[in-house]
Amino acid sequence: MTVIEETDTSVAEIGTLIRGARQNKGLTQSQLAERLNTSQSAIARIEQGSQNLSVELLTRINRALEADLLSIGAPRASHLRVTGGQQLSGTITVKSSKNGAVALLCASLLNRGRTRLRGVARIVEVDRIVDVLRSIGVEATWSANGKDLDIVPPARLDLSGIDSDAARRTRSIIMFLGPLLNSEATFDLPYAGGCDLGTRTVEPHMIALRPFGLDVVATSGAYHATVDPNRPGDIKVVLTERGDTVTENAIMAAARHPGVTTIRNASPNYMVQDLCFYLELLGVRVDGIGTTTLRVHGRSEIDVDVDYAPSEDPVEAMSLLTAGIVTHSEITVSRVPIEFMEIELATLSEMGLSYTVSEEYAAANGRTRLVDVTVHPSDLRAPIDKIHPMPFPGLNIDNLPFFAVIAASASGHTLIHDWVYDSRAIHLTNLTRLGADVRLLDPHRLDINGPTHWSGAEVSCPPALRPAVVILLAMLAAKGTSVLRGVDIIARGYEQLQERLIELGAQIETFRD
């Protein structure tokens, strides 16, 4: 019997695909088990990614779910066929934060006890971090429904056994530096060579962690880290860049440092707040949550069993709201983290969007404020000023690309200034393939003239997550049939996005060559 163990798609990723296809068919685990003549517990293990799959069983699952979950043999890229130009309707719920989940997975290494993360986003990025954790000896077990994750670190991590392939395929491996520097005198981490981790993105991490005695040398294919044990009891860190992951790395280093660490120019963004809330459950006092100055009262030993639910994702919320806006639809997006969406909604209001907001209620973590937002069909106009991102509490850097497709749907000229990234704006010029008038002024600025009479086209998916989703959303607005080729990158940051859009009435078909 041939067993799938070494493919470009991990067993955990296959399990996630199977779970999504089952849920999309409206089947319970027991009902799928009955179709396959197996047990419900076997289906649970498959969906958790804890059971290898034979070719024969995978073929039977494909047949039972009427799906093509994984090609046998050479991998084939996934594509989407979109029949657009139709209004959507209904309610869609924002899932938990991908960026929050990644930080919490890394932070679980600080705790010798059990960490249970509830409602974790089941996306490729999360699965890769879980693979890395398991490879160094961490017990990571999904619940039967595939939503909750129990994490129990071993007494001693086996860093020599790290899954280098999974580590190199995620940007987040650099966030292991902060958790490890208080427990390891020297260690190596695979260098994420497949990602653009240039000097601009790496050096701020080094600046943040050097006060804790960390020295990192980038060798061929790896970061070689050494830690000087001689450091002051109280540490002051001034971040030269108010980055989210940089702040998280500094916070995680401070959590196990037996002293008070003051971090200035810290990011107060949603994933940073999630991390701080989690650390408080571990007994680590954090003053100034939600501000740019944090004081972390570290503990040399942490051994606590805790449950924590990551908050909802404001970037997914913006994605879903955009789907309603550009299709002139009335849809309700529930569980929107309003604190991290206020600038976006104010900007949309300036552009003429009509929307209603429910009363606030608490997220599962008891701290994050949520609302339900209903967007109504609106004739949009270009804003008077340019649209540009800023660190929180400004317009979210990851939400900026969605304003490109919104601006293309509005009357007048809009200037989009993406000053953070050197090439993301270039990917947004793909909107011209669908009829938009988008001019690239330089690598950071776009001039967009609307309104666009969207028309269907075939577009290759750009190698950037948010621009890829922007193209998909534009296709929902475009009359006729569009094809978006090579969409695997979308699964890196979204859980079952196309299936959930289908529930709102979108006509999207997944196919492979």
Sheet strands (E) in 35-125 = 53-54, 78-84, 89-93, 115-117
Find the mean pLDDT for residues 112-138: 91
* Separation between Cα atoms, residue 184 and residue 393, nearest integer Å: 36
* Residue 3 pLDDT grade (very low, low, confident, very high; cuts 50, 70, 90): very low
Distance, CA of 99 to CA of 108 (rounded, Å):
14
Phi and psi angles of residue 390, each rounded to the nearest 5 degrees, phi first:
-150, 160
Cβ contact 260:295 at 8 Å? yes
Q: Which of 16-20, 328-332, 453-457 has the lowest mean pLDDT?
A: 16-20
- 467-487 pLDDT, tens digit each: 999 999 999 999 999 999 999
Which of 73-82, 157-166, 279-288 has the weakest average pLDDT?
Answer: 73-82
Residue 504, pLDDT > 80, answer yes
N-terminal to C-terminal alpha carbon distance within the chain: 27
Residue 10 pLDDT grade (very low, low, confident, very high; cuts 50, 70, 90): low
Q: How far is Cα 209 from Cα 13, in angstroms, rounded to an integer?
A: 33
Tell me which of 82-91, 126-135, 345-354 is least confident.
126-135
By mean pLDDT, which of 100-104, 126-130, 349-353, 468-472 is the weakest?
126-130
**pLDDT grade, residue 47 (50/70/90)?**
confident
Work out the average pLDDT over 305-325. Answer: 97
For the chain, the average pLDDT equals 88
- 489 vs 90, higher pLDDT: 90
